[in-house]
Chains A and B, each alone.
Chain A
Amino acid sequence: MLLRRFLSCSVFLFVGAAFAQGPVVLYTSLAPTESGPLGVAFEKKTGIKVEIWRAISEKVVQRAVAESRAGRATVDVVETNGPEMEMMARENIFREIRSPHLADIPASSIPKHRQWIPDRLNFFVVAYNTTKVRKEDLPSSYRGFADPKWRGRIGIEATDTEWMATLVKLWGDDGMQYFRTLSAMKPDMRKGHVLLAQLVASGEVPVALSAYQSNAESLKRKGAPIDWLPMAPVVARTQGIAIAKNAAHPKEAAAFVDFVLSPEGQALFDSMGRTPVSTKVATSIGRFDYTVVDPVTVLDEQDKWEKIWQGLFLK
């Protein structure tokens, strides 16, 4: 009798302990090939499990916002593209982040409200098919592609409005003129950065102007005839991480965010071919200057740039 009571008591304690320890529910657009190992590493370190729900960035927003409005506490941590993180921040579904590792992150890239923190970068680079184009034939800057000899050989991803917007802001009126020239050359418009990189590798699109560095790199590592190079001015997009306002496991969520922003987590990103933001971690893709797309501008000037982009490239 006593034994039984003791047993049931310990079971209760055990269950209680399990409840106290997570799991962290993560909504992310990071591929499971990377988010999976990230979760495993975190669990190994802290003993807290990570449950991952993975979707494209818009779905992450839709689901997180809808659940928050309905008062459900399902998600603990959200990790996706900068502009989408900013959308959710505006919907008031995050809480401010305090982490010892914030100091390692370039201050200019951290939103003032600190509702979310950038955790990795994605670069727009020029990717080319190594059997169709020689590296020495490529121009040294984007302006070189205005040369008529590139007509019929260049491709752009069909939704890269923010890339254009950032370049035009850097170059001023000149920039607008450049894109008009580009538009007259009728570049190959392709939907999806993954598809674009694949088509470069297959030779369908000899040169892509707005490929994602990570996509080109992973194909290159598999041995596909593709290479990439950062072309000045390099535009970068940030991806961010945040803790849900009504997270069911706020402590574990904070621990997870800390882990991701820590040199350890950032190094893990680098080893998986993603670019870390932390200044404490040296990236393996080499050093170059880059300009970060401002998520706030992306949201506020969306309509204006969308209209220009449509008029230039999607008619």
Chain B
Amino acid sequence: MTATSTTPASAPEAVSPGRQAWRMFRQNHSALFGLAIIALIVLASVFGPYVYTVPPREMVWMPLTPPGESEYLLGTDYLGRDLLAGLINGGRVTLTVGLSAAVLTVLIGITVGALAGFFGGRVDDVLMRITEFFQVLPNLLFAMVVVMLFSPSLLNIAVAIGVVSWTSTARLTRAEFMRLREMEFVKAERSIGAGNARLIWRVILPNAAPPLIVVAALSIGTAILFEAGLSFLGLSDPNATSWGRMIGDNRPYILDSSWGVTFPGLCIFLTVLAISLVGDGLNDAFNPKLRQR
């Protein structure tokens, strides 16, 4: 792999940039805290349903039972469903949709941005016009239209989120590519006959990776919020519980059960917060200089 060896040696010691970043990251307490929360939430969502086997979508107790007044620790909702079971199972849906939407966001964003930044000129003009167009569209409304017209399956929701969220990733990727394509190591690769595809994917992209990794991490958080918004509005898979949907379902009953909206909201908040902390930690780790600010 000569592509990775073309990374400009910025580190004074002979430590790989990745390892150096990890060293920085490890010292960042809030980022580690975020990582721990994420680990906890992922574990609970993956294994929770096997450990805590209360069915999330069936009436198990008196409706609107407050937390701590029954064997159902966090209480029940307006249909007598166990809130904790809902949270555990909803986490799966929320995380799955969030993650797949983020992957799509990053894929579209990087592809568009890389092509625009690498080729410049006409290609850039056209792609940036398209980007501008998607930036102007109110993203949630557009996603609402898409999901409503194409039925609210989890896949459609993830696609809708991905399709409306990629513009900032594209802009960042484009800027990085425009900066990097003029650099000596790229010219050197070009002069020894590297093709465009190789230059884009193997030479420039690895060097543009640090800011893109940060954006990719943060876009998971944004996608989770987005999914929550859609399912709050009722645009969610009718057969799946998600945190946003729980808030939407319980909203009419907030005067009788504040817990029905509080806990799912806290779950979303904590998850996205943890992701932001990790994202900021990564950002600091990749740009040690900015940290002194």
A joins B in a complex = no
Using CB atoms and an 8 Å cutoff, list the residues of chain B in contact with chain A: none
A interface residues (Cβ-Cβ under 8 A, vs B):
none
